[in-house]
Amino acid sequence: MVAGQGSPIVFVQGSGSFYKAMLVKTCDLLPLLLVVVTRKDEELTWTGFVEDTLVHHFEVGGMTDGAWSIMSNQKLSLETSGLR
Amino acid sequence: MILQPVNSSKQMTEERSLKRTKSMGTIEGVDLVPAGRKRLKVFTQDDLVLRDMLPCELMDAYDVKVTMQDALTEVSRVHSVPLSMVFVLEAPGKLFTSVGHAVLKGLLNPAAAKMEQMKTEEANLAPDEVHSPIFSVAAKALDTQVLDSATVEPIKKEVSLEPDVKAAMEDNAAVNFEVWDKRSVQNFDETAVSRGALKGCIVRRRVVSFSTPSKSFFFGVIDATSCEAF
């Protein structure tokens, strides 16, 4: 959670059950922005996300052949970090 | 990190290299590290020895921070337990870094993000929708060649070519009662009210209002001299 003006920004990484558990815990802190990073083999049936993109690690400058789902309630434009 | 696939200082053929990669779990050249794999084998720089990939190398591949690498190694050494390799099951650090940059870029510069969104929306609009509704109606009328009065009159009403008199007057300027009087009299429909009835209604007061079955009038200034004209 990032402190700042307005609603908090919440990043959630993990499975669907983990995400739902976190949502229950933070029900009184409606997040301005929510990002979920989960494995590509997760069953993604949640609603409320405008962004649901499968991102490969190498697309952002990484070295593995894995891919993860980036889900967000706001539009995100991911860029490579350029680091290796 | 890795290493040309050679055997006894001789470059391996691509076919044999691929076979060994699959059978032994090795990677080479610009290959990516298989996600979720805890043990990988690599060639050393002397081209002779096959070895397991070091945990620190695997941590580098998964973008584990150096401080976190030190902490994990220290825990493993102090407690004499195998190094936790659970990080291979998690999303690598560069994914989070890129997400963080995207979020901060949007939040710290909302104007640029809004402009980008408007450009995207405008690009998705049809050309005639970009302009005002008046021009859209006119464009549609021209497209269909239907310029009947029902189409033209609403456009003429909205697009007035007459100068805006109200806009030319200052807010605090004195009211020109003379123009007001003339305008009121000129707009008065005297056929709706008989002259006799009108004379009966007029009294010697500065302000008088009239009501007829068809419309209501408000006369700003009427005095005795004005009544003589009737």
Which tokens sit at B142? Answer: 């021209």
What average pLDDT does this structure show over B180-189? 70
Which of A13-17, B15-19, B35-39, B120-124 has the weakest average pLDDT?
B15-19
B90 neighbourhood in chain A, CB within 8 Å: 13
CA distance A80 to chain B (A): 6
B101 neighbourhood in chain A, CB within 8 Å: 79, 81
pLDDT of B54 > 70? The answer is yes
B96 neighbourhood in chain A, CB within 8 Å: 11, 13, 37
On whether any CB of chain B is under 8 Å from the CB of A1, the answer is: no
Q: What is the pLDDT of residues B143-155, one digit of tens each?
A: 555 556 666 666 6
CA dihedral A34, A40, A44, A48 (to 10 degrees): 20
B106 neighbourhood in chain A, CB within 8 Å: 74-77
Please tell me the predicted confidence (pLDDT) of residue B182. Answer: 75
Integer Cα distance of B168 and B206 in angstroms: 29
Parallel, antiparallel, or unpaired: how do β-strands B41-43 and B216-219 relate?
A: unpaired
Q: What is the pLDDT of residues B198-224, one digit of tens each?
A: 444 444 444 444 444 443 333 333 333
Please tell me the predicted confidence (pLDDT) of residue A71. Answer: 81
pLDDT of B49 > 70? The answer is no
A53: CB partners within 8 A, 6+ apart: A69, A70, A71, A76, A78
Cα angle, residue A27 at apex, residues A23 and A28 outer, rounded to 5° = 150
B61 neighbourhood in chain A, CB within 8 Å: 62-64
What average pLDDT does this structure show over B129-156? 57
pLDDT of B58 > 70? The answer is yes
Please tell me the predicted confidence (pLDDT) of residue B218. Answer: 35
Please tell me the predicted confidence (pLDDT) of residue B227. Answer: 36
The ipTM (two decimal places) reads: 0.78
**Confidence category of residue B99, pLDDT binned at 50, 70, 90:** confident
B102/A66 touch (CB, cutoff 8 Å), yes or no = no
pLDDT of A65 > 80? The answer is yes
Q: Residue A37 is nearest to which of B32, B96, B103, comparing CB atoms?
A: B96
Please tell me the predicted confidence (pLDDT) of residue B229. Answer: 38
Please tell me the predicted confidence (pLDDT) of residue B161. Answer: 57
CA distance A24 to chain B (A): 22
**Confidence category of residue B1, pLDDT binned at 50, 70, 90:** very low
The chain-wide mean pLDDT, for chain A, equals: 71
Which tokens sit at A76? Answer: 């995100």
Please tell me the predicted confidence (pLDDT) of residue B62. Answer: 87
Integer Cα distance of B42 and B49 in angstroms: 9
Max mean pLDDT among A9-18, B25-34, B144-153 falls in A9-18
The chain-wide mean pLDDT, for chain B, equals: 64
Q: pTM to 2 decimals?
A: 0.48
Looking at per-residue pLDDT, the higher value among B11 and B183 belongs to B183
Closest CA to B216 of B204, B201, B228: B201
Cα angle, residue A54 at apex, residues A32 and A65 outer, rounded to 5° = 130
**Confidence category of residue B177, pLDDT binned at 50, 70, 90:** confident
Instruction: Give the percent of chain B with pLDDT over 90.
Output: 0
Please tell me the predicted confidence (pLDDT) of residue B230. Answer: 35
* Whether the Cβ atoms of residue A35 and residue B97 lie closer than 8 Å to each other: no
pLDDT of B55 > 70? The answer is yes
* Whether the Cβ atoms of residue B198 and residue B178 lie closer than 8 Å to each other: no
Closest CA to B132 of B150, B113, B155, B148: B155
Give residue ranges of B with CB < 8 Å to any A CB.
Answer: 32-36, 60-63, 90-92, 94-103, 105-107, 117
* Whether the Cβ atoms of residue A6 and residue A12 lie closer than 8 Å to each other: no
Backbone angles phi, psi at B71, to 5 degrees: -65, -45
Q: Residue B33 is nearest to which of A63, A77, A80, comparing CB atoms?
A: A63
**DSSP letters along A8-75, please?**
PEEEEES-HHHHHHHHHHTTTS--SEEEEEEETTS-----S-SEEEEEEGGGGT-SB--EEEEEESS-
Please report the residues numbered 4 through 63 in chain A whose beta carbons come closer than 8 angstroms to any beta carbon of chain B.
Answer: 9, 11, 13, 33, 35, 37, 55, 57-58, 60-63
pLDDT of B20 > 60? The answer is no
Please tell me the predicted confidence (pLDDT) of residue A28. Answer: 56
Q: Residue A65 is nearest to which of B33, B97, B103, comparing CB atoms?
A: B33
